[in-house]
Structure 1
Amino acid sequence: MPIITSLKNRVSDRHNNKEETCWIDVDLSKPEDSDWLTSDSGLSDDLVAFLLRENFVNHRNLHDGSVLIALKVSGDKPTINPIGLVDLKIFIDANRIITIRYHPVMAIDKTYAYLDNLQSESLTGENAESKKSAHKADQQGAKVMDVFCQIVTNLIVHIEKVTFAISDQIAVLEDQYFDRGQTFDARLLLKLRGEICKTRRILAVLHNTLSIRIIDPTLLFDGEDKGALVRVSRHVDLHLENLDDLLTRIDMLQSLDDSKLSEAMSQSSFNLTIVATVFLPLTFVSGLLGMNVGGIPDTHNPWGFWGITAAMLCLAVGLWVYLYRHLQSIRLKR
């Protein structure tokens, strides 16, 4: 069976809730949790099939104010990754929040710790045994949106660590380039860009979902719920801006590297042009004096060689003038 944690009603004075408000944490690596999702969850067959299939980065709005968020970092199979995130789906409806995962997720574990702290505050003076059963007790201070916001906040905490690590790596590359004039490995920049894009798409999903939830009229928010969503949404927006800034810094380094490479190629072309220019007269002279003039008219005439040479020069100059004017006319038309 999945872990079921009782929660407080969203809006107790405006919503006559006959169903238990709770958080259901489903670990699909356990067969009994998968069986519960299939047979006892009460969800539609289409939704269950969606929750069980391979994860991907997306967010999907459902009817009656419910929402489904699917997060995936990378890889073909659900695996633990360096930023503390794994494949994770979050389903929210009027009375429940359901998290579906394959492995331990740091954000989920920290949310349990958050609920334990609320429980310990409300159970002051009770024995330790009652505190151990906090997940099955009534969480007087936690509602569905509180759990959701706490999960998102914990996800952002891990993403923030990754952002700082990437920023430090980019700063090292910038110092090497600007202060010491050292070149950097372009493959490292490509790797950092890939990590930023993977992290950014998670934040983009959360941003879109939060933006829709805040303005959704079908959700009976109280002021506290809406304020929590707005605060979390601002944190997501801030980290999106930070990631965009990191992408801008990477683009600048790549642009500088490309400019340096282009400058080096231009210098090489310039040196090659100088060499070709130096050897061009020598090539002309050697080709001219090395011609086989046998059979050419007026070969025995003292002025015959010079006449033929002058004719060749006039032909070359005429062709150059024609081509130059032709190219100029094409440029003027453009």
Structure 2
Amino acid sequence: MESPVTSKVSYGAEPGLRFALLLDGCGGCTQLDIARARRWKPEDGIIWLHFERDHVAAADWINRESGLDSFVTEALLEEETRPRVEPVADGLLIILRGVCATAPDEEPDKQTDIDLVPLHMWIDVNKVISLRDSGHYITALRDIRRALEKGKGPHRTGDLLALIGDKLVRDLEPVLDAMDEEVDELDEMIFHGEASEVRQRLKLLRRRSVQLRRYLAPQRDALNRIEHDDAPWLLERDKLRMREVIDKLMRFIEYLDAIRDRTGILHDDLSTVISERIARNSNRLAALAALLLPPSVVAGLFGMNVGGIPGVNDTWAFVIIVMFVTITSVATLWLLRRIGWL
């Protein structure tokens, strides 16, 4: 095994390679550059290579230098993928989804709101190859790398796989909590009559919950397949830990279903509020038309340009008409209030 070196390789310094770690089997690691990674042999220990999937240099290394089957290399570099697990020889081809975070060097005003991003992996007894798209940043891998640098990381590939699954699922909890808080906020807005901006936010939230579930359901099946795989490097303790991860993921899926159901209820409540508002405005317009009806009729009758209109020569005729219209309007207003229109 190569001995640790005092100089550290800068994170992401190699084209297409985010990091290369040589695990010491005791929770620590040695950082490698691409040249030392090429000289790696299985007897040196466990190597973990993390690439940018859409980088030309990474694709070239996967195709020419990884030594993997063509079926595996094509799957690792595939564009559109869903969570799945495929056993190949003594290794596992694993495709999962992880929560995307903002990269440390990314400016706050350029942060992206990406829910789940693909993580492609190949794992066997002494090699781990993982790939994620450039511009994405998965906190689960960052936390494991930092733990290894502090000497508190996984010792084996099975341990590493269980830890990756655990942290991928762990990072889902803040996302679901934020969605639940937004549902509560929208509920309050509808309750207090602030329904103007609720419809669009509710539509986006419901679409987001459907999209999340579309990936989490197959991810549960993929993790379940890992638990039941008979790879020799997967110990019973790794499978037990994976079982706990699956149970937590199932609870999150149920939680997501509850959020989706709540958004459906809120959508119905919003439709009811809007219908009531339309009906109330229609009643007000009808009441206003009813109040204006007597004056309109009187004005229409006395405004006709024909002979025989009463009160033409009477100085009190205008006052009498105004009093009549006023009394009629007041009586109409009282009647509308009596029947509940106002």
TM-score range, shorter chain: 0.5 to 0.7
Partner in structure 1 of residue 330 of structure 2? none
Q: In the aligned structure 2, how far is the partner of 1:95 from the partner of 1:80?
A: 36
| TM-score, normalisation: structure 1 | 0.60
Partner in structure 1 of residue 317 of structure 2? none
1:240, distance to aligned residue in structure 2 (A): 1.4
Q: In the aligned structure 2, how far is the partner of 1:242 from the partner of 1:7?
A: 39
User: Among 184, 200, 224, which residue is 2:213 paired with?
Assistant: 200
The yes-or-no answer on 1:116 pairing with 2:135 is no
Structure 1 residue matching 2:50: 3-state secondary structure: strand
1:252, distance to aligned residue in structure 2 (A): 0.8
Report if aligned partners of 2:83, 2:222 keep a CA contact under 8 Å in 1.
no
How has the CA–CA distance of structure 1 residues 242 and 107 changed in structure 2, closer, same or farther, with 3 Å as cutoff? same
User: Among 214, 235, 238, which residue is 2:248 paired with?
Assistant: 235
Q: In the aligned structure 2, how far is the partner of 1:152 from the partner of 1:247?
A: 25
Task: Spell out the pairing of 1:2-41 with structure 2 (5 A cutoff).
Answer: 2=17, 3-6=20-23, 8=25, 20-28=45-53, 30-41=55-66
Partner in structure 2 of residue 175 of structure 1? 188
Report if aligned partners of 1:56, 1:72 keep a CA contact under 8 Å in 2.
no
Q: In the aligned structure 2, how far is the partner of 1:105 from the partner of 1:142?
A: 21
The answer to which structure has the higher helix fraction is 1
Q: In the aligned structure 2, how far is the partner of 1:52 from the partner of 1:185?
A: 40
Structure 1 residue matching 2:113: 3-state secondary structure: coil
Structure 2 residue matching 1:150: 3-state secondary structure: helix
1:31, distance to aligned residue in structure 2 (A): 4.0
Report if aligned partners of 1:189, 1:250 keep a CA contact under 8 Å in 2.
yes
Task: Spell out the pairing of 1:57-136 with structure 2 (5 A cutoff).
Answer: 57-64=82-89, 66-71=92-97, 81-82=112-113, 86-103=117-134, 104-117=137-150, 119=151
1:249, distance to aligned residue in structure 2 (A): 0.9
Deviation track 1:132-170 (CA, whole Å, cap 9, x = no partner) reads: xxxxxxx7x522132223223333343222212211111
1:207, distance to aligned residue in structure 2 (A): 0.9
Deviation track 1:41-95 (CA, whole Å, cap 9, x = no partner) reads: 1111232122223133331423446232154889xxxx98435754421233344
Structure 2 residue matching 1:23: 3-state secondary structure: strand
1:203 is matched by which residue type in structure 2?
Answer: L
Q: In the aligned structure 2, how far is the partner of 1:116 from the partner of 1:72?
A: 22
1:231, distance to aligned residue in structure 2 (A): 1.9
Deviation track 1:215-251 (CA, whole Å, cap 9, x = no partner) reads: 2345554332122111221221222122111111101
Structure 1 residue matching 2:155: 3-state secondary structure: strand
How has the CA–CA distance of structure 1 residues 218 and 156 changed in structure 2, closer, same or farther, with 3 Å as cutoff? closer
Q: Which runs of 4+ in 1 moved over 6 A?
A: 264-272
Q: In the aligned structure 2, how far is the partner of 1:253 from the partner of 1:181?
A: 13
Partner in structure 2 of residue 327 of structure 1? none
Report if aligned partners of 2:99, 2:172 keep a CA contact under 8 Å in 1.
no
Could you tell me which runs of 5 or more consecutive residues in structure 2 were left unpaired when the two chains were aligned.
1-13, 27-41, 101-109, 290-342
Task: Spell out the pairing of 1:224-303 with structure 2 (5 A cutoff).
Answer: 224-261=237-274
1:88 is matched by which residue type in structure 2?
Answer: L
Partner in structure 2 of residue 44 of structure 1? 69
How has the CA–CA distance of structure 1 residues 89 and 221 changed in structure 2, closer, same or farther, with 3 Å as cutoff? closer
| TM-score, normalisation: structure 2 | 0.59
Moved more, 193-202 or 224-233: 193-202
Report if aligned partners of 1:97, 1:144 keep a CA contact under 8 Å in 2.
yes
The alignment-based identity, stated in percent, is: 22
Report if aligned partners of 2:121, 2:130 keep a CA contact under 8 Å in 1.
yes
Report if aligned partners of 1:67, 1:93 keep a CA contact under 8 Å in 2.
no
1:37, distance to aligned residue in structure 2 (A): 0.7
1:260, distance to aligned residue in structure 2 (A): 4.1
Q: In the aligned structure 1, how far is the partner of 2:127 from the partner of 2:253?
A: 28
1:40 is matched by which residue type in structure 2?
Answer: E
Report if aligned partners of 1:207, 1:237 keep a CA contact under 8 Å in 2.
yes
Report if aligned partners of 1:115, 1:142 keep a CA contact under 8 Å in 2.
no
Q: In the aligned structure 1, how far is the partner of 2:98 from the partner of 2:140?
A: 14
Partner in structure 2 of residue 185 of structure 1? 198
Structure 2 residue matching 1:66: 3-state secondary structure: strand
